[in-house]
Amino acid sequence: MVELIIEKKFIKQFENKYPLIHREAIRNANELKEEGEIIHLVDSSQKFIAKGYYGNQNKGLGWVLTHNPDEEINVSFFRSKILSAINKRKGFYDDPQTTAFRLFNGEGDGIGGLTIDYYDGHYLINWYSDGIYSFKNLVVTVLEEYGECKSIYEKKRFDTKGKYIDDDDFVSGERAEFPLIIKENGMNFAVDLNDGAMTGIFLDQRDVRRAIRDRYAKGKHVLNTFSYTGAFSVAAALGGAKKTSSVDLAKRSEPKTMEQLSLNDIDIEKQDLYVMDVYSYFKYAKRHDLKYDMVVLDPPSFARSKKKTFSSAKDYPSLITNSVEITKSNGIIIASTNNASFGMDQFKKMVDKGFKEAGQAYRIKEEFGLPRDFTVHKLYKPSNYLKVLVIEKIAK
């Protein structure tokens, strides 16, 4: 156990249950030794304020776990947090049309640095620091106790000897057969929990996929950029899109997208796939005078390609400008970002800048944030990272 003294001006914040132990709040951070050790946050007269653990993330030094000085950080602690998260998601367990969701969402469910996703009885744990990883046995014990656990996989999203993800992410239970087919609002998706950092689907876009299928896609030609495994194209095609065109730089996106489309009995002949840089595709589309009824933009926060480095914070306005130029008048642009370093207000400014540059008027029709299984901590703004805008081009 290590006692860390909070700088005076941050005391109120921690008393109010702010969850992140950030470096500038701590006077004696040099006393931290081993990741996973328990931290007592105290004021300068050693009055107890909160208890947490040491785990280095780019965000900070660790997370607060409790404000009760008598609460031990042991298997009972993890059991109570995880069971209460499970209870909050009973509706998902009971819904046969949706068999994958976030079961435990870090600080939003009381333990920063840890997320657990549920894929039809198989659990995927994401560890965001060596510190939280030191509690692995406790977390695994709790999940195994809970009857419906077929298997457990993990992603170590912190650098262990220069490597982020192991070659084998299997932890316990009976190995699943991949691809595993999960359902989301009746749509089928193939996932693989043991194939690198990503699983094949981003569960946080569930509400957006549903809206695209149920309300936006009918009769439209949809351009899906940064399409990955084509989940938005699947939703659009099932919603009656005339055609979908998916663009992603990664070669694996092509077979993966074919797989997702076929799993949903979608006519592959009517869907186009391009393994291509999005900016090259914009040029191609302009040269051939292609116009879309709807363009979906869902770039990563950062990406390095041969030609350049993409950063959503810097490049979003230009993505919008390019998209506007290839969207039909009265068409729709769905702009999404998972960049936690800015909020919705700033995102709207980037979108506005992009439309101004194109000299185009627009109207925001709808906004999305995280779905309800991605519980956020209301005092820690970056936990609410997802921002999605449905924007309509309007005639001037």
Two structure tokens written together for 139: 């977390």
Judged by CB under 6 A, does residue 231 bind ligand SAH? yes
Name the segment binding ligand SAH (CB under 6 A); options: 4-12, 264-272, 302-310, 376-384.
302-310
Pairwise CA distance, residues 41 & 69, whole Å? 10
238: left (phi over 0), alpha (psi -120 to 50) or beta: alpha
Looking at beta carbons only, is 26 or 231 nearer to ligand SAH?
231
Binding of residue 184 to ligand SAH (CB under 6 A): no
Return the number of the residue (202 or 342) whose C-beta is nearest ligand SAH. Answer: 202
Least distance between ligand SAH and beta carbon 394 (Å): 26
Q: Indicate if the alpha-carbon torsion angle 59, 62, 66, 68 is positive or negative.
A: negative
Query: Which of the residues 316 through 355 are near ligand SAH (CB under 6 A)?
Result: none
SS percent in the chain: helix, strand, coil, step 5: 30, 30, 35
Q: How far is the CB of 54 from ligand SAH (least distance, A)?
A: 32
Q: Does 253 bind ligand SAH (CB under 6 A)?
A: yes
Residue 189 found at the interface with ligand SAH (CB under 6 A): no
Applying CB under 6 A, among 74, 76, 84, 305 the residue interacting with ligand SAH is 305
- For 64, the 3-state DSSP assignment is strand
d(CA 364, CA 362): 7
Out of 310, 316, 355, 368, which residue is the one contacting ligand SAH (CB under 6 A)?
310
Any contact of residue 368 with ligand SAH (CB under 6 A)? no
Least distance CB 228 / ligand SAH (angstroms): 4
Question: Helices 344-358 and 312-325 sit at what angle, rounded to 10 degrees?
Answer: 40
> Regarding beta strands 180-184 and 170-173, do their DSSP bridges make them parallel or antiparallel, or are they unpaired?
unpaired
Site membership for ligand SAH, residue 130 (CB under 6 A): no
Number of residues forming the site for ligand SAH (CB under 6 A): 20
* CB nearer to ligand SAH: pick between 29 and 275: 275
**Contacting ligand SAH (CB under 6 A), which of 10, 226, 316, 368?**
226
Helices 312-325, 278-287: axis angle to 10 degrees equals 20
Residue with tokens 């595993």: 180
Which of these ranges, 18-26, 96-104, 245-253, 375-383, lies near ligand SAH under the rule CB under 6 A? Answer: 245-253
Cis peptide before 96 (omega within 30 of 0): no
Q: To the nearest whole angstrom, how small is the minimum distance from the Cβ of residue 81 to ligand SAH?
A: 29
Tell me the β-bridge partners of 114: 127
Instruction: Supply angle C-alpha 188, 191, 195, rounded to 5.
Output: 165
Is residue 80 within 8 Å of 166, Cβ to Cβ?
no
C-alpha–C-alpha distance, residues 142 and 149, integer Å: 10
CB contact at 8 A, 215 and 287: no
Q: State in angstroms the smallest separation of the CB of 181 from ligand SAH.
A: 16
Q: How far is the CB of 25 from ligand SAH (least distance, A)?
A: 33
Q: Which of 261, 278, 334, 358: binder of ligand SAH (CB under 6 A)?
A: 278
Interface residues with ligand SAH (CB under 6 A) are 202, 205, 226-229, 231-232, 247-250, 253, 277-278, 298, 300, 303, 305, 310
